[in-house]
Structure 1
Amino acid sequence: MSQITLVLPFALPFPEFAPDLVRALEAPALAALLTRTSSHARVPADDAVRALPHEQWLARALGLQQAGRPAFAAAAMRARGMQQEAGTWFIVNPVHIEIARTHLMMGDPARVRLDERESRALFDTALPFFEEAGHALRYGDAATWFMRADDWAELDTATPDAALGMDLTDWMPLGAAAAAFRRLQNEVQIVWHAHPVNAAREERRLPPVNAFWAWGAADAQRQGAAGAPALVALEAGSTVGALAGSHAAVLPDFGAPFDADAIVYCGGPAPHAVGADWGGWIGQLQQLEAGLFAPILAALMKGRVRKVSLVLSHRDAHAEFTTTALAQRSFWRRPTLDRLL
């Protein structure tokens, strides 16, 4: 038997909305998983790390940290079967930056929806500028490229999900190499501004790709922690979609025993919470109640899974809950969702 850890970013409701949301949510299996536990804890985010709480948790769980920050680039390249030269590599996401009246704000990278042809064309246009700056650039997929920048190893970057919807003044790269990064960014922005790809996208009312976001710096030789569980993403996302070795189009089948420990990442609630769509957030959790929480609770009680952990988060903290079949027999603990408060 194995241990399954469910990671659900933004499934922990924001404190100001939590009482009303918890009253509206009907999820008895989730309530049992949260209430009848062998351990639980709530952990505030480390403000010195420019990443969301669940990203910080994943970096620790997988052993992918560098200078205390998530170091995902090398693992993301290996997940794609890419060869990497020795040195420091960054994940690079082509993004759309919105110019508001008083500040800059990054649009959701998942909504850029670049196809392979568009991404290749923008990549080819940007490549000479990266090479002139002394940085190799490698194509991973339409949403994910990789840059080698050994002299930028100390650059303090933020994950794109952490910067999403925020004033970018507070989230741009920091450190001695920040000025060099801005110069490269400006050069690429100029050539992309009038690029035929962006002209065609604007005709289709799609956001133009007018910047790139670099993050997740890691030494090419960085391996994850020995014996770290496999990571499965139920959908692609700007962080875990780049990192996961496998993706599942449907929820896992908990009807058969799991052979090895696994971290199952489900980002479904996140866009609803970030967009303050609380009706959609409740609907998403109700779907997960039927498709994920109830089946995994049944698998636990039937001995197909040895232990279940849940990692739920919002922007400021994450909560961890661990349960076993023995803990679920604590009948005197009435299942409740109050631990979401």
Structure 2
Amino acid sequence: MALPLSPTHLLIPFAGRGSSACAAALATLQLPNLDALLTRLAVAHDDTQADTTLTPPHERALARALGIDAADGCIAWGAREAQQTGLSRAGSDEPWAVLTLCHWEVAIDEVVLHDPGDMAIDAAESQALLEAARPFFQEDGIVLRRSAAPGRWLARGELFRGLATASLDRAAGGPISAWAPLTDALKPVRKLQNEMQMLLYTQRVNDERIARGLQPINSFWLSGTGVLSTATPAAAEVATVLDTLRAPALRDDAAAWAAAWQALDAGPIAELLAAYRRGEAVQLTLCGDRSARRFAPQPRGALGWVKNLFTRTQATTMLAAL
């Protein structure tokens, strides 16, 4: 998913996290610039849903900013990227998906999806596995194409039309059964995953990775499925997505998550606060497990601003509610 850029609208995924260690870290987190900024802004939009949705709040928020309206699990990031890179024409009704190479750990009673962001897959490995996998997918009418990111492929096929799939940001670090139950709709996907597991086991790429002490690539995760039938705004008009909280949040690494938050507060948040003080029309979207809340300046008199200073909610309290 390409990340749009706008210096006056920041979108921060995993700003709140319900996992035990990260949630506990909020109690001692100091974010003075975020506190000051939220004093001056008000909630302009609040999207709160269950934390069992296939699409996480930050993806819903980005889709909303792009003008994409889709059902849960059907935001067509694959089709959008295909159109942006010239693999598909604008306005096409071709169904696409994103395939992300990954490692599944088989435990006693569950299979856990490791975060592919930790796997260090290079372009040569990705291309070699793409060529090996292509015939298996072609048998099911699926065309594979590489993307700009190693270990991440684009796939075109009727299987993906209307198929709801869980975002990688929902599934990474947890059991796959929670996010890809063996429903009739997903049986063809599981078949492909099983075939790929057998194929990948025999690949020299994995022998070399294991020799280097790296996790073998033994499966893929399917997401971003569907058709993108509407035009979307230019990337520069949308938001800057800051994803430095993602990796520590998925690992529930409280120290790293808190450090990443402090760096955001001292850097981009401080810059956004300065932009607000210069009179710029800033926006801030903070996302957690359940909610995406967009904050923007609201017109009010001096008395209202002073009242808000004394009735403000501390930033960490608001983050805990995400």
TM-score grouping bracket, smaller chain normalisation: 0.7 to 0.9
What amino acid is aligned across from residue 135 of structure 2 in structure 1? P
Higher-strand-fraction structure: 1
CA contact (8 A) 2:206 2:216 kept: yes
Question: Between Structure 1 and Structure 2, how many residues are aligned?
Answer: 306
Aligned: 1:185 with 2:193: yes
Aligned: 1:53 with 2:53: no
**CA separation of 1:126/1:274 partners in 2, compared to 1, >3 Å: closer, same or farther?**
same
Structure-2 residue corresponding to 1:101: 108
> 2:190 and 2:230 mapped to 1: Cα distance?
30
Aligned: 1:155 with 2:163: yes
Structure-1 residue corresponding to 2:294: 320
> 1:327 and 1:17 mapped to 2: Cα distance?
41
CA contact (8 A) 2:95 2:158 kept: yes
SS in structure 2 at match of 1:10: coil
Aligned: 1:172 with 2:180: yes
SS in structure 2 at match of 1:6: strand
SS in structure 1 at match of 2:141: coil
> 1:152 and 1:174 mapped to 2: Cα distance?
16
> 2:190 and 2:56 mapped to 1: Cα distance?
23
SS in structure 2 at match of 1:70: coil
What amino acid is aligned across from residue 293 of structure 1 in structure 2? I
> 2:218 and 2:59 mapped to 1: Cα distance?
26
> 2:24 and 2:103 mapped to 1: Cα distance?
34
CA deviation after TM superposition for structure 1 residue 19, in Å: 8.0
**CA separation of 1:120/1:109 partners in 2, compared to 1, >3 Å: closer, same or farther?**
same
Residue 114 of structure 1: which of 121, 124, 134 is its match? 121
> 1:15 and 1:184 mapped to 2: Cα distance?
32
> 1:155 and 1:115 mapped to 2: Cα distance?
29
CA deviation after TM superposition for structure 1 residue 275, in Å: 1.8
Residue 78 of structure 1: which of 62, 80, 83 is its match? 83
Residue 267 of structure 2: which of 291, 296, 301 is its match? 291
Higher-helix-fraction structure: 2
Provide the identity percentage.
30
Superposition map of 1:1-341 within 5 A: 4-14=8-18, 21-39=25-43, 42-46=46-50, 49-68=53-72, 69-83=74-88, 87-141=94-148, 142-172=150-180, 176-219=184-227, 222-225=229-232, 228=233, 230=235, 261-303=237-279, 305-306=280-281, 308-323=282-297, 330-332=305-307, 333-334=309-310, 336-337=314-315, 338-341=317-320
Question: TM-score under structure 1 normalisation?
Answer: 0.80
CA deviation after TM superposition for structure 1 residue 144, in Å: 1.8
> 2:240 and 2:319 mapped to 1: Cα distance?
20
* Structure 1 portions without partners, runs of 5+: 232-260
Q: Deviations over 1:130-155 (max 9, x none)?
A: 11121111111312211111144132
> 2:47 and 2:230 mapped to 1: Cα distance?
26
Structure-2 residue corresponding to 1:253: none
> 1:153 and 1:327 mapped to 2: Cα distance?
51
SS in structure 1 at match of 2:305: coil
Alpha-carbon RMSD across the aligned residues, in angstroms, is 2.8
Q: Deviations over 1:213-241 (max 9, x none)?
A: 1221232x52344xx4626xxxxxxxxxx
> 2:23 and 2:142 mapped to 1: Cα distance?
50
**CA separation of 1:135/1:290 partners in 2, compared to 1, >3 Å: closer, same or farther?**
same
> 2:294 and 2:93 mapped to 1: Cα distance?
36
CA contact (8 A) 1:156 1:174 kept: no
Question: TM-score under structure 2 normalisation?
Answer: 0.84
CA contact (8 A) 1:77 1:83 kept: yes
